[in-house]
A and B are shown apart, each in its own frame.
Chain A
Amino acid sequence: MSPDENDAQSKPAKVSPARSESRGVFPERRPEIIEVTPQDVRRWTRRDFLTFGAGAVVALGVAASQLPPSTLQRLGLKFWPRNQWLLNKAQRVDDDVAELLYSSNRLVPTHTKSQITPLRNNYNGATPDPGYIPGWRLTLDGLSSGLTAALDIRNLLNRFQIHDQITRLVCVEGWSAIAWWSGLRFENLLQAYPPDSQAKWAFIESSVNLDPNGNTDPYYVSLDLLTARHPQTLLATHYNGQPLTVEHGAPLRLIAPMKFGLKNIKAITRITYVKDEPKDYWAERGYSRYDGI
């Protein structure tokens, strides 16, 4: 320290009259005072402003390149380079975190009948015509037997134990509902019809789904078998003690409360067990592939 600095600190009289203040348990220290030439001050200031300015330009450029195309268009940046690597990376990191947080031993909270809340029909677009229900079959493919199986609803209800479960269904949009479901455990279906030993995924499809204009728009989700084997993952047949209505995916839908609602596919018509991660309806539209909550 230079003599000047000590001098500055030994002259508290220079400080304008201040109000009395308590100093606290960890009193603050006097700031380090340095004395430099005006040239140095100018040089340092220029250096720091240029460095921070360059950093700001880079950060803004990266941020702008990650904005959705329609936002860039709205901002008038039509020819701005588009590169979504950072967002894609963030989504992958978040999916990995979700997978790390998942545990097949951890049960999601269950509720009582008095806590049940109304559940809305969030069929994307139009609700299918119930005409498909009488001839409905669940087709299983990718089994270890090498065969395909076709099961009707009576078959499923008679062969498997039906479990009741009151859990919260959380929508990716942010709303949620506590609902009472009954159905067979996915795990029990996997035991009765074991998948191929290589299989790690279930590709679950509904051929009856419609788009907002009422045209056929098959819905499909990917489900990792670890989640499928969770004791609270149901293939639900009943809602509120009654057989599922068309609105809620008659006659069989997936209830995986540890996933967002969009994975809880309605009116399942086919389950295929596969080795590699299959496609997913909403993942193709920019949402997470894992959707663990």
Chain B
Amino acid sequence: MASRAETSPPHGVRLARKHHLLVRVSHWLNVLLLAGLIVSGISIYWASPIYRHSPDPQTGNTDYFADAGLWLCAHVPLMHGYVSPPDWIYNHFSLGPYMLAAAMRLHWCCAYLFMLNGVMYLAGLWLGGEWRSLLPRASDGRGALIMAKYYLSAPFALLSRRRRVPPQFNSKYNPLQRMAYFSIPIAGWLSVVTGWAIHKPMQLSWLAALLGGFDRARVWHFWLMCLFITFVVPHVILVFADGWDTVRSMITGWSKRSETRGQSHEP
């Protein structure tokens, strides 16, 4: 490396190492695995939905998803001809109803790979020393508020064409990022724990009991999925808002922002 630096022309490119190879691989595998887990998980949820209302006097429906399908088919153009409006959401956003066996196989397959992937991610964090950048700090509460304010006011700034300087933090991630990247792996771990509690409620009955019983463990598992979805939406929006360097660094592992220690302002 030293020899390359010596022989390189005066206008070389400075790169900051950002993500270990194992972190990058596990990040992209997670995209696929989480998608598989969410899709098959919703299909499993539909075999016995938790959140239901009293039967609708007109349609007899008890299910919010079916209501949404009915509404879509009634109000959105080009969908009026759909044969079974209550099943619209089911048939378009997942594996569909009456496919429980297939959904469960897919869920177990993704779940085992997700657990292995989690181990790979932790190994990458350790080998690359990146775990230090994820640890919460005492000043993070205030910093996260500053960042949240900056992000939330972004649409207004865009409309009024105001140029803004993002808040600067002398660390790899800003406090809001650190909070998100620290808590999401914990949520992943909790999903695994709640998943085992509802997968083996008899052999691991102590685990189900710890989570408030079989039924409550199902609810926890469901809301953890919702948490992943609410993380992914701003994560993807902000990564594109932040720019190409951030996306590229999750593939190549380095950032051209060596002056700011590879810091990005977004996701």
Contact = CB atoms under 8 A, between A and B. Distances in A.
Contacts of A93: 108, 112
A66 B106 contact: yes
Nearest to B146: A19
A195 to B, nearest CB: 25
Contacts of B44: 174
B235 interface: no
B48 A175 contact: yes
Interface stretch (A23-31, A139-147, A269-277): A23-31
A77 interface: no
Q: Which of A28, A87, A98, A285 has the most CB of B within 10 A?
A: A28
A261 to B, nearest CB: 11
B14 A34 contact: yes
A202 interface: no
Contacts of A282: 101
Interface residues of B, number: 78
Contacts of A285: 101
Contact of A258 (B1, B45, B48, B202): B202
A31 B172 contact: yes
Contact of A32 (B16, B133, B143): B16
A258 B200 CA distance: 9
Contacts of B214: 168, 170, 176
Contact of A19 (B1, B25, B168, B203): B168
B83 to A, nearest CB: 14
A67 B96 CA distance: 12
Contact of B32 (A22, A32, A63, A67): A63
B96 A70 contact: yes
A5 B5 CA distance: 9
Contacts of A37: 4, 8-9, 12-13
B5 A21 contact: no
A59 interface: yes
Given A15-B260, A28-B132, A30-B261, A90 B137 contact: no
Interface stretch (A44-52, A130-138, A155-163): A44-52
B48 A171 contact: yes
A15 B170 contact: yes
B139 interface: yes
Interface stretch (A103-111, A218-226, A234-242, A244-252): A103-111
A82 to B, nearest CB: 12
B2 A24 contact: no
Nearest to B175: A21
Interface stretch (B68-76, B151-159, B247-255): B247-255
B138 A24 contact: yes
A44 B252 contact: yes
Q: Which of B101, B171, B175, B260 has the most CB of A within 10 A?
A: B101
B96 A170 contact: no
Contact of A101 (B36, B133, B167, B200): B200
A118 to B, nearest CB: 14
B199 interface: yes
B99 interface: yes
Interface in A75-105: 84, 86-91, 93-94, 98, 101-103
Contact of B100 (A67, A70, A173): A173
A2 B1 contact: yes
A69 to B, nearest CB: 9
Contacts of B252: 44-45, 48-49
Contacts of B104: 172, 287-288
A257 interface: yes
A38 B13 contact: yes
Contacts of B109: 66, 86-87, 89-91
B240 interface: no
6 contacts: A5-B5, A45-B248, A71-B95, A84-B105, A174-B45, A288-B104
Interface of B: 1-2, 4-6, 8-9, 11-18, 24-25, 28-29, 32, 36, 44-45, 47-48, 91, 95-96, 99-102, 104-106, 108-109, 112, 129, 131-133, 135-139, 143, 146, 167-172, 175, 198-205, 209, 214-215, 218, 248, 251-254, 258-262
Given A1-B2, A36-B5, A173-B47, 17 more contacts: A5-B5, A8-B14, A21-B137, A26-B132, A28-B132, A28-B172, A31-B16, A31-B17, A34-B5, A34-B17, A36-B4, A41-B15, A49-B252, A66-B106, A84-B105, A87-B109, A293-B200
